[in-house]
Structure 1
Amino acid sequence: MEKNEIMLSFDSEKMEALVFYLKKENTTVQKKMDEALRLLYEQTVPEPLREYLDAKSAPVRPRRPPRPSQPKAETPKSASASTGGGKEAGV
């Protein structure tokens, strides 16, 4: 889905203080604003519409081509039976 950019105005001194204290929490204004916008979206847009939009924007995974069939490797049992190493060889 295409993303839109939102511009906000905020007092520069307040912004500096906010950035300073968010750094102490190992986060950023961008991350906090993304979280706040997501919560606003979830509280405002009805769930059926959100589910529809999520399904509509889900990436379509391409189908993998079928694997080519490979011959099965011979097991040790059948190899020993063909060489006469079994019990029947002594009879």
Structure 2
Amino acid sequence: MSQVTINIPFDEERLKALDFSLKKENTSAQKRMEQALAELYEKAVPEPLREYVDSKSAPAAKPRRPAKSEQPKSVPPAKTGAPISMPVKEVEKNG
């Protein structure tokens, strides 16, 4: 959805004072105006129309790639050569 800019004339000194005061709340006049405009949109625009607008602006679903088939990975063949011998501890039998 493309964005537009709304220009509202307001006294510069008042805006500075407003931003100074809102900074204490970790916000700004810009953020509060955006919130107010979103609330106005929710209240003024009927839900069926909002749904229609949202459906037009929703990104088209990307086609999914087919899933890879789960094939077991092949085990590389053992190297040929002299067999490896390991010492084996003999277990004593009692009895």
TM-score with structure 1 setting the length: 0.72
Supply the distance in 2 between the matched residues of 1:70 and 1:51 (Cα, whole angstroms).
Answer: 40
Aligned-CA RMSD value: 1.6
Q: Which residue number in structure 2 is paired with residue 83 of structure 1?
A: none
Aligned pairs for 1:1-91 (under 5 A) are 1-72=1-72
Distance 1:64 1:57 in 2: 20
Distance 1:14 1:68 in 2: 61
Higher Cα Rg: structure 1 or 2?
Answer: 2
Q: Which runs of 5+ in 1 are unaligned?
A: 74-91
In terms of fraction of residues, the more helix-rich structure is: 1
Q: Which runs of 5+ in 2 are unaligned?
A: 74-95
TM-score, length-scaled by structure 2:
0.69
Separation (CA, whole Å) in 2 of partners of 1:50 and 1:19:
31
Which digits, 9 at most, give the CA deviation of each residue in 1:5-45, with x for residues without a partner?
A: 10011111211110001100001111111101111111111
The 3-state SS of whatever aligns with 2:14 is helix
Runs of 4+ residues over 4 Å off in structure 1: none
Deviation at 1:69, TM superposition (A): 1.1
Kindly state the Cα deviation for residue 63 of structure 1 after the two structures are TM-superposed.
2.0
Residue number in structure 2 paired with 1:87 = none
Matched-pair identity in %: 52
Residue type of the alignment partner of 1:48: P
The alignment partner of 1:39 has SS state of helix
Greater relative CO (CA pairs within 8 A, separation 6+): 2
